[in-house]
Structure 1
Amino acid sequence: MSASPTSPKTEFPWWLAVAVILALAAALFIATSNLYAQVFATVAKGIGITIFVTVVAFALASAIGLGVALMGLSGSRLMRQIARFYVEIIRGVPILVLLFWIAFAGAPAFVAAWNALTAPLQSAGFFGELLVRDVSLLWRAIMALTIGYSAFISEVFRAGIQAVEKGQIEAAKALGLSRSQRFRLIVFPQAIRTILPPLGNDFVAMVKDSSLVSVLGVADITQMGKIYAAGSFRFFETYSIVAYIYLILTVGLSLALRALEKRLRRQHEE
């Protein structure tokens, strides 16, 4: 039975058409307005930092999250309990609080521990003492986002891996494949189709949450907007541009991820 014209599969994305028209109209207005063009030029300087923070933090969070997920699925009770402890504790702390803790408590503690462990090498003249100011606020912010999101991403990986049929894993065991071979050749290629949609949602969410790094003075989009607004008192214009840029980034990423999901689905059906 063919799908009806109003079914979700064939329904025309009117919301997207309206969004594109509004985005183009806003771009035209910004290009023809001296004030908005100036605001955009200032705020846009933070796009590179926002993308850098998001990509690096997400890559690190995905690697840690996968490791925690595998620990949670291991045969060792100790590993499972450590993974559960990590996930539940980290998920219970707001990202902003974690950001402050890493920046102003975790970084000094790390520096003190590093200096204590490497004191003999420092005395021998191999390198100097590490200072707290040597750990940039940018990397403190990246580590906070990495730790915060790794707990959520680990649950995404765990659910995707557990969604693979156990019969296929048993068949792989019967073929003599090792644990690592089963994961690399059988489990992960199938799990990624389940993992990708929520993982993409976490990536888009991290783009938005990266704005929190502005509280540390990191020169991202939000921080550049705060600086401009504080100096010009053009709050409406500035934060309208900030919202516009974030919308372009997040909606564009969402559409790209949706297209990738459809492509993977078609490949699986073929």
Structure 2
Amino acid sequence: MPDSRDGQSKNTIIMVTEGPSIPDPREWRIVNAWSIALAGAVITLCCLAWFKPEPYREILTFVPDGLAATFQVTLLSICCAVPLGLLTGLGRISRNRLINLVASTYVEVIRGIPLLVQIFYFYYALSGLLQLSRTAAAVISISFCYGAYMGEVFRAGILAISKGQTEAARSLGFNRFQTMFYVILPQAWRTILPPIGNECIAMLKDTALVSVVSMPDLMQRARSFANNSYLYFETYTVVALIYLIITLLLSKVVSIMESRLNYYDGKR
């Protein structure tokens, strides 16, 4: 099989519109934008809690209870959105006109409706039919929304692979299923990983929207504290810093994973 680096453009870039900027895995300088942002957020949060324990330390002990709900919704949504995105991406490039039409319609419809509206729709509009819990409504709405966006990422990553790879696999006796899952997707994953990681981090940030259905996530806990104490500036400053720290750390994890993929691909 030809080397994957010959079958994929080295300049292939999948543009993303949400989420943090993934650190360049080739950037090993200690002082860079990522480290400055992380250090600034951590130092600011620590200084606020140390020099002004009331109310900042009290806020820090109150809002983290919602982190468990935030991560629960995020992880469940990722587990649903990534397979859905893969199926959507495959459907978008399918030669079957019906499958292609269904996948394309799903993408157009979901991407045209704001996530907040989808959350309201699943929890309130369909509550009489489906009897969804807050968690189920949040996971389903976020999964459907991001599945459409991830479908476009998978589609672009798959199409970035040279047709010569497919032709070489078919000449070796692989069927279409084997060609896609054993040849194309492993090569496309190097291109797909950064934007997929970006979408997953953006998904975590968008879990703040589930607070509108009174789910006790990080944002809902912050709203509850602010409404009781009227310390809106202090409360949302802490929440913003917590979200920033989490997203920066996760973006670094994605960068490390991308670096590992490039390392092993370079050794082949």
TM range (shorter): 0.7 to 0.9
| 1:222 counterpart letter in structure 2 | M
Where 1:75 maps in the other structure, the secondary structure is: coil
The match for 2:88 among 52, 59, 68 is 68
Instruction: Tell me, yes or no, if the aligned pair for 1:30 and 1:40 is still in contact at 8 Å.
Output: no
TM-score, normalised to structure 1, is 0.84
Where 2:63 maps in the other structure, the secondary structure is: helix
| Distance in 2 of aligned mates of 1:74 and 1:20 | 43
Taking a change above 3 Å as real, the CA distance of residues 16 and 157 of structure 1, as seen in their structure-2 partners, is closer
| Distance in 1 of aligned mates of 2:38 and 2:195 | 25
Q: Which residue does the alignment assign to 1:201?
A: 198
Taking a change above 3 Å as real, the CA distance of residues 18 and 59 of structure 1, as seen in their structure-2 partners, is same
1:127-149 per-residue CA deviation (whole Å, 9 max, x = no partner) reads xxxxx3xx211111111101111
Question: 1:12 Cα deviation (Å)?
Answer: 5.3
Q: Which has the larger radius of gyration?
A: 1
* Sequence identity percentage: 37
The within-5 A match list for 1:74-93 is 74-93=94-113
Instruction: Tell me, yes or no, if the aligned pair for 2:93 and 2:100 is still in contact at 8 Å.
Output: yes
The match for 2:39 among 21, 43, 67 is 21
Where 2:77 maps in the other structure, the secondary structure is: helix
1:32-57 per-residue CA deviation (whole Å, 9 max, x = no partner) reads 32421110111111011111111111
Q: Are residues 1:36 and 2:56 paired?
A: yes
Question: 1:249 Cα deviation (Å)?
Answer: 0.8
Where 1:164 maps in the other structure, the secondary structure is: coil
Q: Are residues 1:171 and 2:168 paired?
A: yes
Question: 1:20 Cα deviation (Å)?
Answer: 3.7
Instruction: Tell me, yes or no, if the aligned pair for 2:77 and 2:139 is still in contact at 8 Å.
Output: yes
Q: Which residue does the alignment assign to 1:236?
A: 233
The match for 1:94 among 114, 117, 133 is 114
- Root-mean-square deviation over aligned CA pairs: 1.7
Please list every run of 5 or more consecutive structure 2 residues that lacks an aligned counterpart in the other structure.
1-25
Instruction: Tell me, yes or no, if the aligned pair for 1:161 and 1:187 is still in contact at 8 Å.
Output: yes
Instruction: Tell me, yes or no, if the aligned pair for 1:87 and 1:152 is still in contact at 8 Å.
Output: yes
Taking a change above 3 Å as real, the CA distance of residues 24 and 147 of structure 1, as seen in their structure-2 partners, is closer
| Distance in 2 of aligned mates of 1:42 and 1:249 | 17
Where 2:126 maps in the other structure, the secondary structure is: helix
Instruction: Tell me, yes or no, if the aligned pair for 1:90 and 1:151 is still in contact at 8 Å.
Output: yes
1:3-35 per-residue CA deviation (whole Å, 9 max, x = no partner) reads xxxxx8566543334334323423432543242
Q: Which residue does the alignment assign to 2:257?
A: 260
